[in-house]
């Protein structure tokens, strides 16, 4: 409507000032009218083409732009019912103020299972196709580096807040799922001086106060990131989890190892499927072995000793496992690669990746695209 008023006003002025100027005005007006035969553009780049059954889905992010001004509108025909599996066709129609119109059809599929690709933003992993080894590792580092950093403890958003969201029990929003035990435990029972009375329960065969705290899967002392002011790896929640305090202490800075592959000694059952063995190594329960591997893969790619990283982390085959070895190495790489294959990405892990992405602005590539691990480090058999 705005344009019609402008064009009408131009014609009135032309008639008023005389025909001597009409040719010029008609030429200019013709140019304007000619340029506005173009339909507006509909932008659907914020929409996902797949959505998991039961998940929220909104069409409100669709908008249009016009070649001359912003007076275009979008009408939507159709909807997506995420309670039912199937394919849904949505028709978008955009019209500008002179009636130029465009229509596009958008397809949305409601799927049963969790597919990591559902959550990957378009173009996020651009330019990694065909890369392997150090070239792929470097390209991924460029993608996931410079994430938004949060303090370890603060009155504003901090690591506690992110873990309460990332490790929330889907069956009980007041609880978190503890990483090494799988127990659902109240969020209010986080590491504190005065835990509530209901934090007392029977665990490890005795009645005790059970608290959870923040576990670094890549141990702080084995990365040299022990100072809160460093942020970076110290507060990167892609490798921080909610863990029961006692099991966190047992794991300590032990390296990860399969304690049952036939060549281990001092094997000790620590409860809930966790074991320690040899001089200073730890085997987590089967349900999180793959999670551990993918977190360590992420850390070895994200922190390459570049400006701002402070640390250069690497995975190794049989690194020094002693308690006092503070080399920025973790392993064993062969066990981690095998766990990655034997315990594939789970729904909870995918959703956790999405929660952390919503805070930090970066993703764990090995959850989104599990095949990347072998392209960088090879297979478990390569280390025999």
pLDDT of residue 251: 97
The verdict on 24 and 45 lying in the same domain is no
d(CA 68, CA 74): 16
| Structural domains of the chain, count | 3
pLDDT of residue 342: 93
pLDDT of residue 112: 74
Chain Cα centroid distance, residue 293: 16
The verdict on 193 and 216 lying in the same domain is yes
User: φ, ψ for residue 51 (rounded to 5)?
Assistant: -145, 140
Rounded to 5°, the CA angle 180-181-184 comes to: 120
Rounded to 5°, the CA angle 288-292-295 comes to: 135
pLDDT of residue 35: 58
**Domain interval for residue 26:** 1-35
Instruction: Indicate the angle between helix axes 289-302 and 347-360, nearest 10 degrees.
Output: 30
The verdict on 362 and 252 lying in the same domain is yes
The verdict on 297 and 261 lying in the same domain is yes
Q: Within a 10 A sphere around the Cβ of 40, how many other Cβ atoms?
A: 23
The pTM score is 0.73
What does the pLDDT profile of the chain (384 residues) look like in tens digits?
A: 444 444 444 444 445 555 454 454 444 544 554 557 889 999 987 787 777 777 778 898 899 999 887 789 999 999 999 899 999 999 999 999 888 999 999 999 888 767 788 899 999 999 999 999 999 999 999 999 989 999 999 999 999 999 999 999 999 999 999 999 999 999 999 987 777 888 988 887 788 889 999 999 999 999 888 776 668 999 999 999 999 999 999 999 999 999 998 889 999 999 999 999 999 999 999 999 999 999 999 999 999 988 777 789 999 999 999 999 999 999 999 999 999 999 999 999 999 999 999 999 999 999 999 999 999 999 999 997
pLDDT of residue 16: 53
Using CA atoms, how far residue 224 sits from 66, 137, 153, 326, in Å, is 54, 22, 19, 7
User: φ, ψ for residue 284 (rounded to 5)?
Assistant: -80, 170
Which one of 53, 84, 113 terminates a domain?
A: 113
CATH (domain of 44):
2.60.40.10
Question: Would the CA dihedral through 188, 192, 194, 197 be positive or negative?
Answer: positive
Could you write out the DSSP letters of every residue in 142-205? HHH-SPPP--SS-SSS-HHHHHHHHTEETTEEEEEE-TTT--EEEGGGBS-SS--GGGEEEETT
The verdict on 174 and 239 lying in the same domain is yes
The verdict on 143 and 47 lying in the same domain is no
The verdict on 75 and 126 lying in the same domain is no
């Amino acid at each position: 409507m705005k344009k019609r008023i402008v064009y009408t006003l131009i014609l009135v002025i032309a008639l008023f000032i005389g025909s001597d100027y009409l040719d010029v005005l008609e030429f200019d007006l013709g140019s304007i009218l000619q340029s506005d035969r173009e339909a507006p553009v509909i932008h659907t780049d914020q929409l996902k083409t797949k959505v998991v059954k039961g998940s929220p889905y909104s069409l409100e992010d669709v908008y249009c732009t016009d070649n001359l001004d912003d007076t275009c509108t979008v009408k939507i025909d159709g909807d997506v019912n995420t309670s039912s599996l199937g394919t849904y066709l949505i028709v978008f129609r955009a019209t500008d103020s002179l009636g130029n119109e465009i229509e596009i059809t958008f397809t949305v599929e409601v799927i049963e299972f969790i597919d990591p690709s559902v959550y990957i933003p378009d173009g996020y992993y651009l330019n990694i196709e065909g890369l392997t080894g150090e070239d792929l590792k470097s390209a991924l580092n460029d993608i996931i580096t410079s994430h938004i950093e949060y303090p370890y403890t603060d009155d504003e958003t901090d690591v506690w807040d992110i873990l309460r969201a990332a490790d929330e029990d889907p069956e009980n929003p007041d609880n978190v799922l503890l990483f090494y035990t799988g127990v659902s435990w109240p969020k209010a029972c986080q590491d504190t001086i005065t835990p509530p009375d209901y934090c007392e329960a029977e665990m490890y065969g005795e009645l005790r106060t059970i608290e959870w705290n923040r576990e670094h899967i890549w141990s702080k002392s084995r990365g040299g990131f022990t100072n809160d002011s460093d942020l970076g790896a110290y507060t990167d929640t892609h490798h921080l989890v909610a863990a029961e305090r006692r099991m966190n202490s047992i794991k300590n800075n032990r390296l990860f190892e399969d304690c049952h592959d036939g060549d281990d000694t001092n094997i000790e059952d620590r409860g809930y499927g966790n074991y320690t063995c040899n001089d200073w190594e730890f085997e987590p329960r089967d349900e999180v072995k793959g999670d551990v591997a993918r977190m360590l893969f992420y850390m070895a790619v994200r922190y390459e000793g570049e400006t701002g990283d402070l640390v250069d982390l690497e995975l190794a085959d049989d690194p020094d496992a002693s308690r006092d070895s503070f080399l920025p190495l973790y392993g064993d790489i062969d066990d981690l690669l095998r766990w990655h294959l034997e315990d594939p990405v789970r729904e909870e892990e995918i959703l956790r990746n999405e929660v952390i992405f919503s805070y930090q602005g970066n993703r764990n590539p090995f959850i989104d695209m599990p095949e990347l691990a072998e392209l960088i480090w090879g297979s478990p058999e390569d280390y025999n």
